[in-house]
Amino acid sequence: MERKPISIIIDEIPEIFHPYLSGADIYDSSCSPEARVYYIDKDNGYFLKKAPKWSMEKEAAMAEFFHSKGLSANVIRYISLKEDWFLSERVMGEDGTAKMYLDDPERLCDAFALALRTLHETSGEGCPIPNRTADYIALAEHGYKKGLFDTSIFPGMEFKNADASWRFFSENAKYLKNDTLIHGDYCLPNIIFDDWRFSGFIDLGNGGMGDRHIDLFWGAWTLFFNLKTSKYTERFFDAYGRDKVDPDILKIIPFAEVFG
């Protein structure tokens, strides 16, 4: 996780967060154009995130729920003004793309898979996003109708065209379940280990009750992407537990993701 030292104009940040910023070194830890993330180097560390209005409402709710399960950091405050602001404590450790983890890919693969199985065996009772699967299907349909169709991050997968891909997904979406607490964006940058011990999940805006194969698909994809090889795909599924992996359901997921 990159952190670049920056100076800030404190009056541009809501006053409720000023006590956390006072006397602290501030770093830019953003990793996407959609949100600005500040790392506040004070106490054990905080992350302050700014994004378009209402865009982090679900993320804040899911972060609080994950924290209640011992799976994420404490949420300090979420407010929606002209923009959304979301302050949370730091999850201790480094994410799965840190050099010490990438340098031991077999151990990383196994730890990554076991953390996912633990998440999926966690009760989702009271989850604030009770039907992420319906949202997932609706988002794919919205993307299709807008003309979105991007296959570039799925090398080696065959997609004839947008219409054929949508037809395949829409005919098979009924097989997606809604019975598992999922992360929704399960990739190596979104899991934190503290010297190989699982420490917590971050970036939970796509989480909720959904189909485990969404996480399984992205887990395999991120190992391919970050380790530059597909050799750990089968090991990942073995470590997670083949008893819960349905290859036919896995094949459905990319036909939704191309429209996202």
Report the candidate in 38, 48, 42 with the shortest Cα–Cα distance to residue 4. Answer: 38
Residue with tokens 């809604």: 178
Residue 239 CA, chain-centre distance (Å), reads: 20
Tokens coding 121:
């065996």
Q: Which of 25, 95, 135, 185 is catalytic?
A: 185
Question: Does the annotation count 185 as an active-site position?
Answer: yes
Q: Show the DSSP H helices in the chain as ranges.
A: 18-21, 57-68, 99-102, 105-120, 132-146, 162-172, 212-227, 233-240, 247-250, 254-257
Cβ atoms within 10 Å of 244's Cβ, excluding its own: 14
Q: How far, CA to CA in Å, does 143 sit from each of 35, 40, 170, 223?
A: 21, 36, 13, 26
Q: How far, CA to CA in Å, does 142 sit from each of 84, 152, 211, 257, 258?
A: 24, 19, 19, 12, 12
**Burial (CB count within 10 angstroms: exposed 0-12, middle 13-18, buried 19+), residue 98:** middle
The helix-helix angle for 233-240 and 212-227 (nearest 10°) equals 140
- Cα(88)–Cα(60) distance, integer angstroms: 9
- Residues with catalytic annotation? 185
